[in-house]
Amino acid sequence: MKKAISVNKIISGLACTLFFSIGTNAQKAAFDMDKDLLLVQLDCKTDIDDLHTAAGFATLLNHPDYKDLNYLAVAGTYGIQEGLYVPPNALMPMVFNENWLDADKEWKTSVDSVVNKALKIIENGGSIWIAEAGQSDFTADWVSKLVEKNPTINIKEKVHVVQHSDWNESVTEPTKLKYTQTVTDYHKIADGNEVGNGTPGFKSDGKVDWESKLNDEHLTTVWNTAIRLGNQYNGKDGRYLNESVDEGGLDFSDLSEVCYILNLMDIKDADEFFTYFKVD
């Protein structure tokens, strides 16, 4: 169990942030490819969907439009849910090379790394966009530390959090959820597990023909690895049983948040995703 943020720190951070953030969100912020950082935080507990999400993100990164995307992935950003972790370590280096952090093994070190990277981005005029593919415990920890390091940062303007899941919120430590929702520019979008609700629905009940569309050896290896690991851990040893994956489908529903951040909300479902990111 990770150490909770003290009430005094939360109150202090709230007061400072709210003072500087009045009136800053009259216009919806947009991701700036030249300045901003996309932070993809994967809880990997206890659903295997984050394995597919990592592969989906790799597919997006392979597209020429996103070859210069500044991103950082963090695995193990889970909250207070019970159950076993789904180890993604065989997949993460394959997808992100060295551009990822292991919060499951090194929570504090990962927090510090994100804070240092965030400070540099903000000092250069950029913002941080978080695809919250899990709970907000990790976000609360690094944002509060960011406030400690530089209380003058307008967190409401510079840190944007996107969450799509009611369940993720329900298993975030309540004080940390409240802190994240209050201090940051917090966006709650419709659930990425569903199709037709205004958010891309990336959970399929049947097989998705991704192989014929990707036509890329590396991405094929990435997806085969994600699917193999997913099948290895899906529902095992008390972990959540993802029935769609169990029946041969895919579930990269957390990538819906990345689509929101990058203004790709017109993509309908998993099939359209692979069509969109097909590279000949």
Please choose, from the candidates 5, 15, 7, 39, the residue with its C-alpha nearest in 3D space to the C-alpha of residue 158: 39
Residues of the chain with pLDDT under 70: 1-27
pLDDT reported for residue 27: 54
Which CATH architecture group holds 1-20+29-280? Alpha-Beta Complex (3.90)
Question: How far, in Å, CA of 63 to CA of 65, rounded?
Answer: 5
Tens digit of pLDDT for each residue in 118-138? 999 999 999 999 999 999 999
> In this structure, which amino acid lies at residue 117?
K
Give residue limits of the domains in the chain: 1-20+29-280
pLDDT reported for residue 25: 40
Q: Which residue is listed with tokens 């298993």? A: 171
pLDDT reported for residue 260: 98
Q: Do 51 and 229 contact (CB within 8 A), yes or no?
A: yes
Question: How far, in Å, CA of 125 to CA of 94, rounded?
Answer: 31
pLDDT reported for residue 279: 77
Q: CA torsion angle for 56, 58, 60, 62 (degrees, to 10)?
A: -150
Question: How far, in Å, CA of 250 to CA of 274, rounded?
Answer: 12
pLDDT reported for residue 270: 97
